[in-house]
Amino acid sequence: MPILYLRDWYKTALQSIRIFRLTEGLSFVRLGSKSSDEFLGVLSQKSEQISQLFQNRINSIVKPIPIKVMLGDTTIIDQNTFDPQAVADFFSKTLNNLTQWKSEGITTTSDEDLRRVFVKLEIPVKNYTILWHMALQYHALLYYKPDNKVPLVQKELAEIMDNTINKEKELAELTDSMIRERLAAMGHKDLDEQKLFEVLFDNDKLRDEITTETDKKTDYDFKAKDQRKKDLFKELDNLLLEAYTTTSVLIDENRLVTGEEGCVCTFDLDFVKNKKKEALFDPKRITPETKQEITKILDDIVLALSN
Q: What is the pLDDT of residue 13?
A: 40
The range of the structural domain enclosing residue 136 comes to 26-146+244-306
* Domain boundary pick from 204, 238, 272: 238
- At 2 the pLDDT is 45
The rounded distance, in Å, linking the Cα atoms of 122 and 274 is: 18
What pLDDT is stored for residue 21 in this prediction? 34
- Domain end (from 180, 209, 238): 238
Q: What percent of the chain has pLDDT above 70?
A: 77
Of 239, 199, 211, nearest to 70 by C-alpha is 239
pLDDT at 132: 96
What would the pLDDT profile of 209-265 be if each residue is shown by its tens digit? Answer: 667 776 666 767 878 989 999 999 999 999 999 999 999 999 999 999 999 999 999
Task: Mark whether 107 and 190 lie in a shared domain.
Answer: no
Is residue 15 one of the residues assigned to a domain? no
Confidence of residue 29 (pLDDT cuts 50, 70, 90): low
Q: Which amino acid is at 114?
A: L
| Predicted pLDDT of residue 58 | 98
Domain count, the chain: 2
Q: Check: CB of residue 261 under 8 Å from CB of residue 246.
A: yes
The predicted model gives 72-84 an average pLDDT of: 97
Q: Is the domain of 30 the same as that of 124?
A: yes
- Dihedral over alpha carbons 48, 54, 60, 65 (to 10 degrees): -110
Tell me: do 117 and 62 sit in the same domain. Answer: yes
Give the tens place of pLDDT for each residue, 269-282. 888 887 788 777 78
